Every structure is written in C-alpha cells, then in structure tokens.
Amino acid sequence: MSRWLTTPRRLAGLPWIGRPIDALSALLLVLLLLGLTIYAATVGSYSLGMAQLWQSLFAGDLSAMQDNVLWELRLPRILLAILGGAAMALAGVLMQSLTRNPLAAPGLVGVEAGASVTMLLILVLWSEALALQLYPLAALLGGLTVALFIVGLSWRGGIAPLRLILVGVGLTAMLGAVADLLITYGNIDRVESALMWLGGSLHRGGWPQVQSLALWLLIAGLPALFCHRQLNLMQLGEGVALSRGLNLAWLMGLLLLSSVMLTAATVANIGVMTFVGLVAPHLARQLCGDRHGALLPLSALFGAVLVLLGDTLGRALLPPLQLPAGLVVALIGAPYLLVLLARQRNR
C-alpha cells in the first residue's frame, strides 16, 4: 500500500496531480473546505442550526429572515472567500516561480498598491463620483495599469526577475506613501470604511462580486493550471527551457499577466490579501515539493481554506464585531511561516 502511495505514476483522468498521495492530499483539503463551508454557513450573530441549514438549502420552508441571512449574506461571502483565496494562491505560485524567489508575494509588481490607491482615491475623495457596482472595475483597472507600467520599465527583451523586483519595490513604496497621505488627511468616516476594505474584509461581499471573481478566475487561473510542465522546465534553468523549445519571453509575459489579473481581481473584490499568496504555496510545497502539476491545485485549495477560515473566525470570535479576514489570516499564518523559515535555516 505504501509503495502504491509513493509511486510517481500519473493517475488516469487527473490532468494535473501526478501521484496518488497528491490526489489524497487534494481530497482531504476538499473535505476540510466542505466542512468549513458548512460551519461558516451556520455561525455568526444570527446562528443557524444544521436542520435549518438543510431546510433552507433543499426545502425552502424557512422564514424570510433566515433565508435572507443564508442566501444574501453568508453564501456569497463564503463563495467569495473560497474564490479569492484560490485566486491569490495561484497568483502567488506564479509570481514565486517566475521570479524564482519563494518569498515573492503576488503584489510584488505593484498590482495591490495600484488597486489600493485607486480604491482609496474613490472612497476618501470621490465617493459619490462612481457607482458602488463599478468599484471593483476601477480597482482592477488601477492595479493592472500600475503592474503593466512596472513590467514595461523592467522589460529588456524579456522579463528580468531581479529588475522586476527592484522596480516593483520602488513603485510600491511610492504608492504606499500616497496611500498613507490619503489616510492621514482624509475624512475620518470615509477613511474608516477604506481601512476596513484594506484589511481584507468580506463584509460587503455579494453575488455580483462572486460572479466577477469567478469570471476572472476562469479567464486567468484555469489556463495557468495547464502550464505546469512549462513551469517545471523553467525551474531547471533558462538553458533547459530553451533547449525544450520554450519561448521564455512570451511565456513569462503571459504567466505574469495571469498573476497580475488574479491579484487585481481579488483585491478589487475583497481587499488586500497579500499574505495568502505568500503562505499558501509554502503550505502546498510541504506536501508536493516544487512539482507544479500538484503545487498549483494544492495551493489553490490551501488559499481557499485559509481565507474561509480567517473570515469565519473573524465573524465567530467576537460577534457582532467582525474582524477582517486578512488580519485573521496574517495572525494565523505568520507564526507558521516564521517556524517554517527557521526550520529551513537549520537544515
């Protein structure tokens, strides 16, 4: 049995995960995510029992208030957490693989800073100038604009990882100063609302945000799953990748664009979740190493679990007070990351 679990044979019908032990890990994460989903649907300021949850989902004979709590407040929030966590985790894997830096975050190329400053400008200065439904689109455009600007500055016949990091850090620092200026001198009521969003809060999540994020995940995330072989070759060095016929400049550009789009869409819909894109790939690597066929889907599952867990704990710990999911995830994940880095240092 143990030999079957560790044999590196590819499972029929599984296009990404290559070993039975990877499929088992994915199955356990899916079951954990399902359990968290059920718990998240029942917990909160207005609690629902399992019987009430079942009746609302399949019988539809609950009161209007209970149906509204489940279908208009909790289910879209749960789905948004799952989609946002998966998107940020995929963006993190792509960014770390492209820069060959395991500590690279999805916001390295300034997409989070661009989206954040755009949202701060709207929320603090021009809150009446744009309809609420257009906020995610504005943040997405702001993040993409800054990211493409950084890529343009770092492009020299291709993407140089070190140059990309340096340009991204510099421009992100400048945008961070602009954000601090807006927070310091803006209207206090508007700044408070903006800070809640910057903390990675899902309290305003609804079905339009779920649809938007699901669409971007299909557009930018699903194609990345089919590039696992190319990513594996890139980890072996440029010489090996070129000898196998890969066009590195175009491939790195497309994968970078996918990471930027995933990050921008997530920040636009649920706020800043940088830490998820950093820690979820590390959690997945503990199970499968750097084999991207398993690393990509396992990272997405870990990201979904982290954000849903953070949002659920944020709602359940101090009701009716709601802690931002990004804050809770950082409090949970930071100690683990420190222990992980300490262990790697001692090897």
Cβ count within 10 A of residue 286: 11
Res 280: pLDDT: 92
Contacts of 30 (CB under 8 A, 6+ apart): 301
User: Collapsing DSSP states into helix, strand and coil, what is residue 159?
Assistant: strand
Residue 261 CA to residue 255 CA, distance in Å, equals: 10
What are the pLDDT digits (tens) for 243-281? 666 677 778 878 888 888 888 888 888 888 878 988 899
Res 2: pLDDT: 38
Res 34: pLDDT: 95
Residue 70 CA to residue 56 CA, distance in Å, equals: 8
Residues of the chain with confidence (pLDDT) below 50: 1-15
Res 56: pLDDT: 67
- Dihedral pair phi/psi, residue 159, rounded to 5°: -95, 115
> What is the 8-class DSSP label of residue 133?
G
**Structural domains of the chain in order of their starting residue, each with its CATH number:** 21-345 (1.10.3470.10)
Res 157: pLDDT: 64
304, 33 contact by CB (below 8 A): yes
pTM: 0.85
> What is the 8-class DSSP label of residue 158?
S
What are the pLDDT digits (tens) for 205-253? 788 889 889 998 999 888 888 888 888 777 766 666 666 666 777 788 7
308, 37 contact by CB (below 8 A): yes
Res 81: pLDDT: 94
At CA 231, angle to CA 225 and CA 232, rounded to 5?
115
Residue among 271, 180, 292 at smallest CA distance from 300: 292
Res 299: pLDDT: 94
